[in-house]
Amino acid sequence: MERAEETRSQVPRLGAWVEPGQGVRWRVWAPGHQKVELVLYKQDGQPGTPLPLVDEGQGFFSTTLPGEGAGVRYKLRVDGAGPFPDPWSRSQPEGVHGPSEVVVPDFAWTDAGWKGVAPEAHVLYEVHVGTATPEGTFEALIPRLRSFKELGVTTLELLPLASFPGARNWGYDGVDLFAPQATYGGPQGLRRLIDAAHAEGLAVLIDAVYNHFGPDGNYLSCYSPHYFTHRHHTPWGDAVNYDGQGSEVVRQLVLSNVEMWIRDYHADGLRLDAAHAIVDEGKPHLLTEIVERARASAGGRQVVVFAEDDRNDTRLVRSPAQGGLGLDGVWADDFHHQMRRAFAGDNEGYYADYTGSMEDLARTLRQGWFYEGQVSQVHGHPRGTPGKDAEPWRFVHCIQNHDQVGNRAHGERLGADVSPAAFRAMSTLFLLAPYTPLLFMGQEWNASTPFIYFTDHNAELGRLVTEGRRKEFAGFKRFAGSEVPDPQAVETFTRSKLDWSEAERPEHAGVRALYRELLRLRATDASLRERRRGQFDARPLGKDALVLERRGPAGGALHVLLNVRGTLEHRLPSGAELVLWSEAPRFGGASKKEPLRSGVLRLEGPAAAVIRITG
């Protein structure tokens, strides 16, 4: 099914905006309805008399109010029902059930010289705005920006910002794509954060959810039945309609949203949630159009579009000319799963597909992901394509992220399940691999605060969420008899807030020093800056250790040796030099003897060492 460009271009602008000299303009898509009315809200919060919109045909209704501007609050009535918030609203200051607000992008930007981060150079730092600081706002993050830069991070990746129900949520229950969450600081707060980040030399990516809408405050179906389709299904129910009747407007909803984040908020790109659940059987695929729209909206800046996708399919990152979808990168969780299996012993759920053996971990490091077409016992079918078909930087690796932490029953971080020595060893291998690293906030000091699943839904939906969460973990042996925290409880949210003072304590300050040193090496060492296929290798050293070899352009190399347990004794070439080892006292380790003596590296596991090989 080919789509004509002319059809897409016929979708008029929707939502509310200010036209200079004319006032506020509204346009609503409500096909099949006879009457749409605008309800303006007074300063006392009370609704005024409904004003009719003009039927433009093809399901579009519009009106203009002369003399009005930013700050007008309104809702819409459809055939007498409602009033409802505008699903194309740019601001929801009173939450997803309250009146929508007219805004204008009139911010005084100071980042004219900012050109972005090269796609292959990203070091991602995942942030949940509501729990990253005590205040939980965009502006409260600004004083932290310099510390991120000094750490060696290049890019903040903000968990979803689209307005969600209540005051606390991970963000994946968003319903108003264009309206940054009011409790975080709304449109102006986000602009101040991104402008300040650019001033510090940091890029900002926004996690965008286009595969589903949240269940609370989702008024799309009040306007049109065509926003969703029964033809496709996702884990959240009926799929968003990207390829059926009326889909040209639904696609424009997404593409206009992409344009807004990049153009009006100066974001440096997007992370797409669960791209495998964005179902589109037409051509070009919506994912390709998302990338094209992001680049067209960037004004000369470097922008990237990364995606979470569990298919291990390099078609996602191949160019459209090569039969691909054109994304810049994709999350590759096999590395995380192999590492957790090796160090923490996880073996339930999706971990059943992984052994954590040194052979399998080395293979994952060579390829970018483990599954390249083998049958997955969890999925029940072959999974994946050869990783060699994509440049290494296109694979996003992690040893923890919001899902891998928050989807555990108690939201416990990696450091709760492995020793401090194991955490340092895992971090060393992770940060010196040739793939794009993603850190979860607080990881750089091995934060102990959990990140628990939390919500703030209405009472009835909240009860169902709480019951469902507890049933989800009933079958896991490790959680048998434990009480899963109530997602609706305020305490569940407050316990998830980062404790920044922890980073200064001796047991955490050493980890932070290790992360700074590793990221400095990654950015400056010639062997680590070389990230092409053929310039690295990984191989096991027995059943409990492996070596990752990174080769530089002029013949030198760095070897990262990882020992999971027991004692590793490994003879090195003549002239080998110890660059760093994870158990050094300055990183919090207890070993005072350097592990390299007389050409033999001796590592008591868990530990990692970085060795320079000359010649």
CB neighbours of 87 closer than 8 A, spacing ≥ 6? Answer: 175, 176, 219, 220, 223, 253
Greater model confidence, 556 or 264: 264
**Nearest-5° Cα angle at 392, 386 to 398:** 100
Residue-level pLDDT at 460:
92
Contact 182, 91 (CB under 8 A): yes
The residues with which 613 forms a beta bridge, in sequence order, are 557
Per-residue pLDDT, averaged over 494-515, amounts to 97
**405 and 450 in contact (C-beta within 8 Å)?**
yes
Q: How far apart are CA 548 and CA 550, in angstroms?
A: 7
The vertex-438 CA angle with 276 and 606, nearest 5°, equals 115
CA distance 470 to 486: 8
Weakest-pLDDT range from 42-51, 217-226, 443-452: 42-51
Query: In 3D, which of 395, 399, 398, 396 has the Cα closest to residue 414?
Result: 399
Sign of the Cα torsion 348, 351, 355, 356 reads: negative
Tokens of 507: 């047991």
Quote the CA–CA distance of 78 and 31 in Å, as a whole number: 10
Q: Is 556 exposed, middle or buried (0-12, 13-18, 19+ CB in 10 A)?
A: middle
Mean pLDDT, to the nearest integer, of 49-70? 95
pLDDT > 90 in the chain, percent: 89
**Cα distance between residue 294 and residue 7, in whole Å:** 20
Query: Inter-axis angle of helices 286-296 and 247-259, to 10 degrees?
Result: 40
pLDDT digits (tens, 9 = 90+) for 393-437: 999 999 999 999 999 999 999 999 999 999 999 999 999 999 999
Query: Does 5 have pLDDT greater than 80?
Result: no
CA distance 21 to 74: 20
Structure confidence at residue 36 (pLDDT): 98
Please name the residues in contact with 253: beta carbons below 8 A apart, sequence gap of 6 or more: 14, 87, 88, 177, 227
pLDDT in tens, 243-257: 999 999 999 999 999
- Identity at 393, one-letter amino acid code: W
- pLDDT tens digits along 577-602: 999 999 999 999 988 889 999 999 99
The answer to whether residues 275 and 307 touch, using CB atoms and an 8 Å cutoff, is yes
CA atoms of 193 and 190, how far apart (whole Å): 5
Nearest 5°: the CA angle 493, 494, 495 is 90
**Per-residue pLDDT tens digits for 452-501:** 999 999 999 989 988 888 777 766 666 654 688 999 999 999 999 999 99
Query: What is the C-alpha radius of gyration for the chain, rounded to an integer number of angstroms?
Result: 25
Query: Who's near 12: CB < 8 A, 6+ residues apart?
Result: 27, 56, 60
Q: Where are the beta strands (DSSP E) in 285-428?
A: 304-307, 329-331, 375-376, 381-382, 395-397
Ordered domains of the chain (ranges, CATH): 5-101 (2.60.40.10), 119-511 (3.20.20.80), 532-613 (2.60.40.1180)
432 vs 265, 365, 450, 593, CA distance in Å?
Answer: 32, 11, 26, 23
Instruction: Give CA–CA dist 45/34, Å, rounded.
Output: 28
* CB 490, CB 484: distance < 8 Å: no
Count CA atoms within 13 Å of residue 204 on its CB side: 31
User: What is the rounded distance in angstroms from the CA atom of residue 126 to the CA atom of residue 331?
Assistant: 13
pTM score above 0.85:
yes
Q: Is the pLDDT of residue 139 over 70?
A: yes
pLDDT reading at 95 higher than 90? yes
Q: Residue 470: its pLDDT value, please?
A: 77
- Beta-bridged to residue 26, according to DSSP, are 16, 63
CA angle 32, 36, 40 (to 5 degrees): 155
If you write DSSP's letter for every residue of 535-599 in order, what string do you get? Answer: SEEEEESSSSEEEEEEE-TTS-EEEEEEE-SSEEEEE--TT-EEEEETT-GGGT----S-SEETT
The 8-class DSSP code of residue 434 comes to S
Helix and strand counts by DSSP (H, E) for the chain: 16, 31
- Centre a 10 Å sphere on the Cβ of residue 594 and count the other Cβ atoms it contains: 13
Q: How far apart are CA 50 and CA 36, in angstroms?
A: 9
pLDDT of 7 reads 42
Under the banding of pLDDT at 50, 70 and 90, the label for residue 555 is: confident
Q: Which residues contact 165 (CB under 8 A, 6 or more apart)?
A: 95, 96, 97, 173, 175, 214, 216, 217, 456, 457, 458
Give catalytic residue positions: 273, 308
For residue 296, the SS3 value is helix
Q: How many angstroms separate the Cα of 232 from the Cα of each of 211, 229, 273?
A: 11, 6, 18
Give the SS3 label for residue 387: helix
Q: What percent of the chain has pLDDT over 70?
A: 97
pLDDT for 171 beyond 70: yes
- Average pLDDT of the chain? 95
User: Can you say how many angstroms the Cα of residue 272 is from the centroid of all Cα atoms in its chain?
Assistant: 7
